[in-house]
């Protein structure tokens, strides 16, 4: 029997890329369960909607009755939990939704999976997997040197990362206590097609196109470790197929950059595709170069200074490595945003790229 993957949050950025990668790389049936919050959209899944192996259910992962029903109906061989509130700035403005989805929702999915899994015949029980998708932000902030390993103690600094850390602990506890075959992945910053424009890279791309200020929090010296989303998704499939249960795996591309370097790279690649001199929005503001739009703004409260993933475990144990460099991934990403400006309009009905997450703001 072919595998069935229940993909929660599959209408969001990483989830929809994962659905595409899983349909292409495996014969699995894919069932997406997604609440379609501001960050999720059926527009992200339009090209796979007609695939006979694809099914979509709209719903909340914190709705225990619904999750139980979906699991009983589709009988997944694995659950991949992407569903989450994912934006740090929004977690500063209002943490409640982060607790509801990232903590309570993740627990509901674990508990429903456990009830289903415990009644499975032994072969299906052994091969069942629960993959909890998490972030490097659970480890907190690094100084100038060093990198997060799977043994780094958790020290989350934002309501978002605290909520993700809680779910990671529950996934671990469900393995230790009940034997549920859970695995956690902690990945660094993703970028690529379908990322909601509140995140740094798509925001900078779209503001360049519109000749709007490029907001740089603090001094722009904060460091993030970047990974192209399809490489992350291929890594997740690898962990799902060959990862050891009860373990966590750090995924990252050894690609640390200061935010200012990212903004400069975006400006130079946008320039290649759509020179500022030919952009009417730039001419209107009297601007000649995209880099002139850079604007330093008030820092994010509790802003983590540096993240860096040490991916040695997944490289050595599972032979996973990213395939694209940052420059290659950035060209693909910017090309995609230029070709999909209608998508940007469609998903941005309630969000106008305003500043979010200032405590007194
Ligand atoms: P996203 O915000 O783009 O998508 C989240 C998806 O979850 C959306 O489709 C949304 O509708 C859905 N969702 C939210 N609440 C839900 C609920 N209660 N029930 C059902 N569906 C719900 O997020 P993303 O960037 O794709 O991140 C996906 C996962 O990967 C998250 O768990 C995030 O913590 C993790 N992660 C993200 C990154 C990154 O750089 N974006 C890096 C590491 C880990
Ligand atoms: O306008 C901006 N200006 C700016 O300087 C925005 C939106 C961000 N930033 C800075 C803050 C961060 O140092 O850029 C960096 C990246 O910010 P985000 O895109 O908000 O990502 P980050 O806070 O690093 O978190 C992301 O990576 C880890 C995802 O949103 C999380 O879901 C993931 O877990």
Q: What is the pLDDT of residue 122?
A: 97
- Mean pLDDT across the chain: 97
Count CB atoms within 10 A of the CB of residue 205. Answer: 27
Architecture (CATH level 2) of domain 4-196+226-255+307-325: 3-Layer(aba) Sandwich (3.40)
Query: Residue 361 pLDDT > 70, yes or no?
Result: no
What is the number of the ligand 1 atom nearest to the C-alpha of 191? Answer: 40
Q: What is the pLDDT of residue 76?
A: 98
Q: Whose CA is nearest to atom 44 of ligand 1?
A: 135
Distance (angstroms) between ligand 1 centre and the Cα of 159 equals 15
Please list every protein residue whose CB sits less than 6 Å from any atom of ligand 2: 86-88, 135, 137, 189, 199-200, 203, 215-217, 222, 224, 259, 300
Ligand nearest to the CA of 39: 1
What is the number of the ligand 1 atom nearest to the C-alpha of 136? Answer: 43
Structure tokens at 129: 């997997």
| Catalytic center residues | 136-137, 160
Distance (angstroms) between ligand 1 centre and the Cα of 84 equals 4
Distance (angstroms) between ligand 1 centre and the Cα of 83 equals 5
**Is 12's C-beta closer than 6 angstroms to any atom of ligand 1?**
yes
Q: Whose CA is nearest to atom 20 of ligand 2?
A: 199
What is the number of the ligand 1 atom nearest to the C-alpha of 189? Answer: 40
Name the residue among 195, 332, 321 with its Cα closest to residue 252.
321
**Is 29's C-beta closer than 6 angstroms to any atom of ligand 1?**
no
Query: Residue 266 pLDDT > 90, yes or no?
Result: yes
Q: Where residue 75 falls among pLDDT bands split at 50, 70, 90?
A: very high
Query: Residue 360 pLDDT > 90, yes or no?
Result: no
Structure tokens at 226: 């970047």
Query: Residue 1 pLDDT > 60, yes or no?
Result: no
> Which residues fall within 8 angstroms of residue 210, CB to CB, at 6 or more apart?
281
Q: Where residue 192 falls among pLDDT bands split at 50, 70, 90?
A: very high
Out of 67, 80, 84, give the residue to mutate to test ligand 1, the one with the largest number of ligand atoms within 8 Å of its CB.
Answer: 84
Q: Where residue 2 falls among pLDDT bands split at 50, 70, 90?
A: confident
Predicted model pTM: 0.98
Distance (angstroms) between ligand 2 centre and the Cα of 90 equals 11
Give the mean model confidence (pLDDT) for residues 259-282.
Answer: 98
Looking at the chain, the whole-number percentage of residues with pLDDT higher than 90 is: 98
Q: CB of 54 within 8 A of CB of 48?
A: yes
Q: What phi and psi values does residue 108 have, to the nearest 5 degrees?
A: -60, -45
Q: Whose CA is nearest to atom 27 of ligand 2?
A: 189
Looking at the chain, the whole-number percentage of residues with pLDDT higher than 70 is: 99
Q: CB of 304 within 8 A of CB of 155?
A: no
Query: Residue 46 pLDDT > 60, yes or no?
Result: yes
Domain residue ranges in the chain: 4-196+226-255+307-325
Maximum pairwise Cα distance, the chain: 69
* 259-273 helix and 326-339 helix, angle to the nearest 10 degrees: 50
**Is 40's C-beta closer than 6 angstroms to any atom of ligand 1?**
yes
Q: What is the pLDDT of residues 314-338, one digit of tens each?
A: 999 999 999 999 999 999 999 999 9
Name the residue among 218, 249, 361, 257 with its Cα closest to residue 314.
249
């Amino acid at each position: 029997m072919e595998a069935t993957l229940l993909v929660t949050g599959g209408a969001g950025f990483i989830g929809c890329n994962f659905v595409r990668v899983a349909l292409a790389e495996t014969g699995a049936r894919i069932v997406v369960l997604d609440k379609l919050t501001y960050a999720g959209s059926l527009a992200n899944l339009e090209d796979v909607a007609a695939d006979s192996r694809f099914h979509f259910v709209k719903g909340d992962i914190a709705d225990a009755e619904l999750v139980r029903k979906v699991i009983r109906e589709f009988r997944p061989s694995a659950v991949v939990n992407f569903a989450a509130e994912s934006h740090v700035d929004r977690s500063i403005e209002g943490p409640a939704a982060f607790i509801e989805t990232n903590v309570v929702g993740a627990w509901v999915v674990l508990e429903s999976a456990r009830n289903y899994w415990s009644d499975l015949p032994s072969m299906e029980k052994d091969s069942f997997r629960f993959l909890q998708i998490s972030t490097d932000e659970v480890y907190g902030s690094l100084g100038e040197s060093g990198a997060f390993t799977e043994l780094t103690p958790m020290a989350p600094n934002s309501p978002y990362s605290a909520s993700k850390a809680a779910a990671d602990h529950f996934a671990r506890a469900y393995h230790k206590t009940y034997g549920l075959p859970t695995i956690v992945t902690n990945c660094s910053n993703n970028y690529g097609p379908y990322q909601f424009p509140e995140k740094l890279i798509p925001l900078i791309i779209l503001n360049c196109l519109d000749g709007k200020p490029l907001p740089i929090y603090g001094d722009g010296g904060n460091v993030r470790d970047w990974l192209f989303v399809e490489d992350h998704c291929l890594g997740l499939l690898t962990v799902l197929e060959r990862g050891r249960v009860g373990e966590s795996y750090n995924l990252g591309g050894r690609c640390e950059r200061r935010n200012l370097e990212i903004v400069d790279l975006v400006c130079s690649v946008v320039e290649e595709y759509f020179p500022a001199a030919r952009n009417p929005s730039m001419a209107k503001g009297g601007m000649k170069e995209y880099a002139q739009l850079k604007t330093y703004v008030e820092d994010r409260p509790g802003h983590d200074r540096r993240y860096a993933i040490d991916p040695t475990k997944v490289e050595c144990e599972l032979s996973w490595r990213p395939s694209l460099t940052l420059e290659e991934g950035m060209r693909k990403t910017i090309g995609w945003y230029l070709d999909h400006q209608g998508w940007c309009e469609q998903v941005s009905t309630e969000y106008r790229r305003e500043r979010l997450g200032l405590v007194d703001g």
